[in-house]
A and B are shown apart, each in its own frame.
Chain A
Amino acid sequence: MDMEKLRDEAKRALGRKEIESLIGYQAGSYGFRVSAAFISSKEEVDRLIFSPLCALSLVNYLTIEGRPSPAAGDKKAKAGKTAIVVRGCDSRAINQLIAEGGLSRDRLYIIGVACSGVIDLKKAEARFPGTLERVEIAEENENYLISIGGRTRIVARDELLADTCRTCQYPTPLIFDKLVGDKRKGSPACYDDIKALEAKTPEERREFWRGQLSRCIRCYACRNACPLCYCDGCVLDKLQPQWVKRSVDTAENIMYHLTRAFHLAGRCIGCGECERVCPVSIPLMKLNRKMEQDVKENFNFEAGKDPAAQPLLNTFKVEDPDDFVL
Chain B
Amino acid sequence: MSEFEPNIVAFLCNWCSYAGADLTGTTRTSYPPTVKVIRVMCTGRVNPLFVAQALHRGADGVLISGCHPGECHYMKGNFLARRRFMMMKNLLEFMGYDPRRIRMSWVSASEGKKFAEVISEVTRDIAELGPLQPNKS
Genuine A/B complex: yes
A residues sitting closer than 8 Å to B (CB atoms) are: 197-198, 202-210, 214, 235, 243, 249-251, 254-255, 258-259, 261-262, 265-266, 287, 290-291, 294-295, 298-299, 312-316, 318, 320-322, 324-326
Task: Give the distance in Å from the alpha carbon of A112 to the alpha carbon of B91 in the complex.
Answer: 33
Q: Mark B74-94, 1 if CB is under 8 A from A, else 0.
A: 001001101110111111111
Beyond A197-B94, A250-B136, whether A299 also contacts B106 by CB under 8 A is no
Cross-chain contact A287 with B94 (CB below 8 angstroms)? yes
Q: Which of B19-27, B34-42, B45-53 contacts A (4 or more CB under 8 A)?
A: B45-53
Q: List 9 A-B contacts (CB under 8 A).
A: A197-B94, A210-B96, A250-B137, A255-B52, A262-B48, A318-B69, A324-B103, A326-B104, A326-B122
CB distance from A25 to the nearest CB of B (A): 34
Choose among A209, A251, A294, A313 the residue that contacts B95 (Cβ–Cβ < 8 A): A209
B residues sitting closer than 8 Å to A (CB atoms) are: 48-49, 52-53, 56, 69-70, 76, 79-80, 82-84, 86-99, 103-106, 118, 121-122, 134-137
Task: Give the distance in Å from the alpha carbon of A314 to the alpha carbon of B53 in the complex.
Answer: 22
The listed residue with most A CB atoms (<10 A of its CB), out of B79, B82, B87, B122, is: B87
Cross-chain contact B103 with A326 (CB below 8 angstroms)? yes
Task: For A266, list chain B residues within 8 Å (CB).
Answer: 87
Q: Which residue of B lies closest to A257 (CB)?
A: B95
Q: Which residue of B lies closest to A197 (CB)?
A: B94
CB distance from B69 to the nearest CB of A (A): 7
Cross-chain contact B105 with A207 (CB below 8 angstroms)? no
Cross-chain contact B96 with A208 (CB below 8 angstroms)? yes
Task: For B89, list chain A residues within 8 Å (CB).
Answer: 324
CB distance from B128 to the nearest CB of A (A): 13
Beyond A208-B96, A250-B135, A287-B94, whether A258 also contacts B52 by CB under 8 A is yes
